[in-house]
């Protein structure tokens, strides 16, 4: 048996589907990594990808997969860095073939890809799960009827382990719990047992800290004069140096922009966390309540104190479904009296749309720059000391059909010739709502598998 | 003194709930935050935006409070009519809170 590594170096190459690619390349070239992980799936990404797949059977994976692989595959192969990513989205198998295609294009025919399958549970839910309660409401899955587009279970690190045991250079998945993308290489490399709850809790902690990439290295943090971030323009992405006990140091490539401090790490520690003592994951219930963060050097923060409890009996499924359309129309007013003219425009719009039969639709009539984000109370306009020099009218309304949505946004545009003076810059948008709901299913309903692809 | 003078904050989204961390710049201010930022006061600050209730978790080891703002995302990110569907800007809104003379 080969000896276990002393520390494992895991980098985070993306925190969402559209994330920047250059910092990932920087990590691949200079991070001296063992693993580079790309986390690219938000709640409804798979539903949107599934719609694309239904139109184009060879698509439905992350739109930036090709570009990302073109950027990092060469340096990763050169330096022996394995890539783990959920960029498979609704079509992990085709994503795997696309990686092989890029590899051939780059003159790297030796690249092997392991594809993790089994997160798509639409069939089993259709057959057995229609009576399951939705986590968001008092209804059951059956209430969504024919509007359901996709159903994907959050797989755990256990589903990735067989892929890591192959000699694949790239591991591609669909829906996986985000921290599991990082936990799996740790379990694989250090031989952690599937019921070693303390270490799994620590591994989830490392994954959670890394999964949003630049959000822990000074991205989404700067507030001039209060929290200044050096060279934000060249923000580097994070990496963790993890030891066999699961304790870690979070850092970044020397010379990259941004900063790693206890403050940036605390913001990410609690990001999207409800009860810090019970962070439910497929592999473990992680407990962050006793975590300690210590600055041990410039851009180096030590993380310790994560623990865990036995994993839940059920797995969470995100169900994507169609829910009508959102109409969004906007128009700007500027100069003296901008707020009064914007308000008059809103009043006129409301009368016209009420009379056209939209009175009962959920809607928002608001002025960007006055009350769109924080309402009227938190920072009332008079306290700002002056009237804003410009405001932007916004009407958003939920309707059943695309045709209704077009009628609504046309009323906003018509304010040009039929509204108050000097409105400008009208925009109209109509989008279909792909909403997400959740159900819990027994583990036994899920059977992950791995497919090895090579040129 | 504004909350902004002694703390920073970040929001995240979970279904129709916001998670909101409030972190002391200096550990010595943590107890003050714990005393002043009661769930009731945070809920009152967001009147009209957060339907409530508000839950609070205390993390003295990292000098932070973590709030869960129930019913704050107009039905959730995927179906919300709000311009800031994620409630990302709510954190900055909390920092406007006036703490008086401390």
Domain locations in chain B?
A: 3-95
Query: B46: nearest CA in chain A?
Result: A378
Residues 6 or more apart in contact with residue A363 via CB below 8 angstroms: A353, A395, A396, A397, A398, B81
A372/B49 CB distance under 8 A: no
Compute, in degrees rounded to 10, the torsion defined by CA atoms A50, A52, A57, A63.
-100
**B76 in A contact zone (CB under 8 Å):** yes
Cα–Cα nearest to A199, from A265, A250, A243, A262: A243
Answer yes or no: do A296 and A342 share one domain: no
pLDDT at A378: 86
Final residue belonging to a domain, choices A312, A339, A364: A312
**A432 in B contact zone (CB under 8 Å):** no
User: In CATH, what class is B3-95?
Assistant: alpha beta
Cα–Cα nearest to A42, from B27, B51, B13, B56: B13
Cα–Cα nearest to A317, from A141, A85, A91: A141
Answer yes or no: do A300 and A378 share one domain: no
A433/B96 CB distance under 8 A: no
Residue A386 lies in a domain: yes
A269/B62 CB distance under 8 A: yes
**Please, which pLDDT band fits residue A1 given cuts at 50, 70 and 90?**
very low
Q: Is the alpha carbon torsion for A65, A67, A71, A74 positive or negative?
A: positive
Residue A441 lies in a domain: no
CATH of the domain at A415: 3.30.70.1710
Q: In the beta sheet, which residues pair with residue A242? A: A8, A248
Query: B5: nearest CA in chain A?
Result: A226
Residue A158 lies in a domain: yes
B10/A220 CB distance under 8 A: yes
| For range A338-355, the mean pLDDT | 97
Environment class of B59 (CB within 10 Å of its CB; exposed 0-12, middle 13-18, buried 19+): buried
Answer yes or no: do A98 and A194 share one domain: yes
Residue A452 lies in a domain: no
Answer yes or no: do A327 and A352 share one domain: yes
CA distance A135 to B17: 13
Answer yes or no: do A261 and A307 share one domain: yes
pLDDT at A262: 98
**Nearest by CB to B83, which of A372, A375, A433?**
A372
Res A385 pLDDT > 80: no
**A371 in B contact zone (CB under 8 Å):** no
Answer yes or no: do A303 and A238 share one domain: yes
| For range A171-189, the mean pLDDT | 98
pLDDT at A3: 64
A378/B89 CB distance under 8 A: no
Answer yes or no: do A248 and A302 share one domain: yes
**Please, which pLDDT band fits residue A384 given cuts at 50, 70 and 90?**
low
Largest CA distance in chain A: 79
Residue A132 lies in a domain: no
Q: Which residues of chain B have pLDDT under 50?
A: none
Answer yes or no: do A81 and A183 share one domain: yes
CA distance A290 to A276: 9
Residue A215 lies in a domain: yes
What is the bridge-based pairing of β-strands A170-172 and A82-85?
parallel
- Percent of chain A at pLDDT > 70 equals 98
pLDDT, tens only, A266-299 = 999 999 999 999 999 999 999 999 999 999 999 9
Answer yes or no: do A60 and A91 share one domain: yes
Answer yes or no: do A189 and A266 share one domain: yes
Q: How many domains does chain A have?
A: 2
Residues 6 or more apart in contact with residue A173 via CB below 8 angstroms: A84, A85, A86, A88, A92, A115, A116, A119, A155, A159, A160, A163, A181
Q: CA of B95, closest CA in chain A: separation in Å?
A: 10
Res A97 pLDDT > 70: yes
| For range A250-264, the mean pLDDT | 98
Angular region, A152: left φ>0, alpha ψ -120 to 50, beta rest: beta
The pLDDT mean for chain A works out to 96
Environment class of B97 (CB within 10 Å of its CB; exposed 0-12, middle 13-18, buried 19+): buried
CA distance A177 to A161: 14
Answer yes or no: do A86 and A165 share one domain: yes
Range of the domain at A224: 7-119+154-312
**Please, which pLDDT band fits residue A377 given cuts at 50, 70 and 90?**
confident
Residue A233 lies in a domain: yes
Answer yes or no: do A69 and A180 share one domain: yes
Q: Which residues in chain A (141-160) have CB-CB distances under 8 A to chain B?
A: none
Q: CA of B29, closest CA in chain A: separation in Å?
A: 14
Q: Chain A partners of B77 at a C-beta cutoff of 8 Å?
A: 43
B59/A289 CB distance under 8 A: yes
């Amino acid at each position: 048996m080969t000896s276990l590594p002393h520390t494992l170096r895991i980098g985070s190459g993306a925190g969402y589907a559209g994330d920047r690619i250059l910092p990932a390349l920087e990590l691949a070239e200079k991070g001296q990594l063992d693993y580079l992980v790309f986390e690219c799936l938000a709640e409804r990404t798979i539903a949107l990808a599934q719609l694309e797949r239904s139109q184009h059977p060879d698509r439905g994976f992350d739109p930036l997969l090709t570009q990302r692989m073109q950027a990092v595959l060469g340096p990763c192969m050169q330096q022996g860095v394995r890539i783990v990513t959920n960029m498979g989205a609704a079509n992990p198998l085709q994503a795997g073939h696309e990686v092989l295609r890029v590899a051939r294009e780059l003159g790297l025919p030796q690249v092997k890809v392991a594809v993790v399958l089994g997160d798509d549970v639409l069939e089993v839910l259709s057959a057995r799960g229609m009576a399951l309660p939705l986590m968001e409401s008092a209804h059951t899955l059956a209430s969504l009827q024919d509007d359901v587009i996709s159903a994907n279970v959050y797989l755990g690190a256990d589903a990735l382990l067989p892929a890591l045991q192959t000699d694949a250079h790239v591991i591609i998945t669909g829906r996986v719990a985000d921290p599991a993308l990082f936990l799996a290489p740790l379990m694989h490399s250090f031989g952690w047992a599937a019921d070693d709850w303390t270490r799994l809790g620590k591994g989830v902690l490392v994954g959670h800290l890394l999964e949003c990439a630049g959000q822990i290295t000074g991205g989404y943090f700067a507030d001039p004069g209060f929290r200044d971030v050096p060279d934000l323009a060249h923000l580097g992405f994070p990496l963790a140096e993890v030891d066999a006990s699961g304790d870690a140091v979070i850092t970044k490539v020397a010379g990259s922009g941004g900063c790693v401090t206890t403050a940036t790490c605390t913001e990410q520690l609690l990001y999207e966390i409800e009860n810090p003592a019970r962070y439910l994951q497929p592999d473990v219930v992680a407990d962050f309540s006793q975590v300690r963060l210590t600055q041990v050097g410039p851009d180096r923060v030590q993380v310790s104190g994560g623990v865990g409890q036995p994993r839940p009996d059920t797995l969470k499924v995100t169900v994507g479904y169609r829910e009508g359309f959102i109409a969004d129309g906007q128009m700007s007013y500027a100069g003296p009296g901008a707020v009064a003219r914007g308000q008059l425009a809103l009043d006129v719009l409301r009368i016209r749309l009420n009379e056209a039969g939209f009175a009962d639709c959920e809607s928002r009539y608001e002025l960007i720059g006055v009350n769109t984000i924080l309402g009227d109370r938190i920072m009332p306009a008079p306290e700002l000391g002056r009237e804003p020099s410009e405001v932007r009218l916004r009407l958003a309304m939920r309707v059943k059909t695309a045709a209704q949505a077009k009628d609504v946004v046309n009323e906003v545009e018509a304010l040009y010739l039929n509204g108050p003076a000097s409105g400008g810059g009208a925009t109209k948008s109509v989008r279909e709502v792909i909403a997400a709901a959740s159900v819990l299913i027994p583990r036994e309903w899920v059977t992950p598998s791995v497919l090895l692809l090579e040129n | 003194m504004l909350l902004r003078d002694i703390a920073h904050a970040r929001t995240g989204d979970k279904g129709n709930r916001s998670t909101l961390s409030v972190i002391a710049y200096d550990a010595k201010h943590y107890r003050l935050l714990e005393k002043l930022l009661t769930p009731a006061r945070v809920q009152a600050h967001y009147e009209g935006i957060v339907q409530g209730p508000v839950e609070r978790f205390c993390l003295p080891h990292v000098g932070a409070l973590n709030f869960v703002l129930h019913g704050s995302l107009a039905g959730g990110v995927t179906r919300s009519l709000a311009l800031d569907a994620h409630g990302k800007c709510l954190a900055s809104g909390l920092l406007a809170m006036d703490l008086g003379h401390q």
